[in-house]
Amino acid sequence: MEKLSKVLIFAEKESQFGLLCSAAKSIAEHTAAFAVASAPACPVDKAFVVADQGIVFDDYFETFAAVTAEYAPDAIIVSSEKRMRSIAARIAAVCKTAVIADVNAMEVAEGKLYCSHLVYGGAAVRCESSAADTTVVVLAPGSFEDLKGEAAEKESVDFAAPAHPAKFVERREKQGETVNLSAAKRAVGIGRGLAKQEDLEMVYAFAAKLGAEVGCSRPIAQGENWMAISRYIGVSGVMLKPDIYVALGISGQVQHTVGVRDAKIIIAVNKDKNAPIFKQCDYGIVGDIYKVVPALTELL
């Protein structure tokens, strides 16, 4: 299989490096990571590490740009956090290229990197390549397996102070919660079939018995605000690759189902026998979740 020569990866969170490393190794002969404070726990060929400066994360950009110039990668792959999207845009400007965002698949042909991502609300897949020498990619969450290990070589790099550093004003506790849904082997999704927020206890009890994480469709997270946005499963949310996904009271619109299309087994519970989810699932139960879920919980 044809591969690029070198790929550089960078993530804000340690938990994302394994996914980026897996993606990089699938398309490159040589891989490197840029990290803050310590080398990431992934098997790249080389890790460039800058000491923690106790600064706003964005101010590591100049150091990252210097490492990029030294390493001269064919592609740069970053994680999808908001700060990393900003850094991706800035490094693309330095490299005189563009960013290809939310990429879920990549391949190399005739020396060029081709990246695929969903468009039109998940109804189609677009494949793009960069006209420049370097391609900057923002990887979609959960699009590759998490690869663990150690860097073969580690190099400490000097911190390059930004000309205009961000000024820290205050720290506020973020409301809500975060969860790494994309890594879940079992997941339960809840949709508009849930009548009120208090009934989430029923869903969590079922998920606990199943050993699963809990996610939701977009209306539950962004309409009702019953769950954190980090639990939203779908085209503009989290993409899952679980062994088992159980959809409770979810109609099955494409914007949601693209987020679970890589699940090995999909089980659906919906009282509407004509719900689109039944065309997507492996096993379906036509019934009220308020009757089916407690019964399943008792059986587990």
Q: Taking the CB of residue 109, how many other CB atoms lie within 10 A of it?
A: 10
pLDDT band at 219 (very low <50, low <70, confident <90, very high): very high
pLDDT band at 237 (very low <50, low <70, confident <90, very high): confident
Average pLDDT of span 266-281: 97
Average pLDDT of span 47-76: 97
CB 193 within 8 A of CB 248: yes
pLDDT attached to residue 170: 85
pLDDT attached to residue 142: 83
- Say whether 224 sits in a helix, a strand or coil: coil
pLDDT reading at 124 higher than 70: yes
Average pLDDT of span 127-148: 94
Structure tokens at 77: 């792959």
Residue where the block lists tokens 């890589």: 262
pLDDT attached to residue 175: 62
Mean pLDDT in the chain?
A: 94
pLDDT attached to residue 173: 77
> Tens of pLDDT along 261-270?
999 999 999 9
The full DSSP string for 197-246 is GGGHHHHHHHHHHHT-EEEE-HIIIIIS--S-GGGBBSTTSB----SEEE
The pair phi, psi for residue 119, each rounded to 5°, is: -135, 170
Structural domains of the chain, with CATH: 4-157 (3.40.50.620), 181-299 (3.40.50.1220)
Percent of the chain clearing pLDDT 90 (strictly above): 84
> Tens of pLDDT along 167-209?
888 887 766 566 778 889 999 999 999 999 999 999 999 999 9
Average pLDDT of span 105-117: 96
In sequence order, the 6+-apart residues with CB closer than 8 A to the CB of 141 are 19, 79, 80, 182, 238, 239
> Tens of pLDDT along 1-43?
899 999 999 999 999 999 999 999 999 999 999 999 999 999 9
Q: Taking the CB of residue 174, how many other CB atoms lie within 10 A of it?
A: 8
pLDDT attached to residue 172: 79
In sequence order, the 6+-apart residues with CB closer than 8 A to the CB of 112 are 129, 130
pLDDT attached to residue 120: 80
Cα 113 to Cα 3: distance, rounded to the nearest angstrom: 9
pLDDT attached to residue 174: 66
